[in-house]
Structure 1
Amino acid sequence: MKKSLIKLLTGALLIIGFSTQALEIEDLGDGLYRFIDDRHRSVFLITPQGAIVTDPLNKKAATWLNEQIKSRFNVPVKYVIYSHNHSDHIYGAEVFKSPQTTFVTHKLSAQDIKNTQMKTVTPDLTFDDELVLTLGDSNVKLNYHGPNDGRGSISMLFEKQKTLFVVDWILIGRMPWQKLWSYDIQGMINSTKSVLNYDFDTFVGGHADIGNKADVKRYLSYIEQLYSQVTAGALAGKTLDEIKQNIKLDEFKDFRQYQAWLPLNIEGVYERLMEESGMGWRSDL
Structure 2
Amino acid sequence: MSKIPLPHPVKGPLVAAWNEAHRLGWLARDYASAMACGRAERCSVCGEKRYMFYRRRVIPARLVELWGLTRRQAEALARKESCDCAGCGAKLRARRMAEVLLDLYPTDGRRAPDLRTWARSDEAGAMRIAEINRIDGIHETLENLARFHPSDYIPNAHPGAYVKGLRHEDLARLTYEDDRFDLVLTSETLEHVPDLARALDEVHRVLVPGGLHVFTAPVSPHFAETFPRARLRRDGSIEDLATPIRHPGGDVGYPVFTELGMDFPDWLAHAGFETETRFGPVRDDDLAQVYVSRKPTV
TM-score, normalised on structure 2? 0.33
Report which of the two structures shows the higher radius of gyration computed on alpha carbons.
Answer: 2
Larger fraction in helix:
1
Greater relative contact order (Cα 8 A, min sep 6): structure 1 or 2?
A: 2
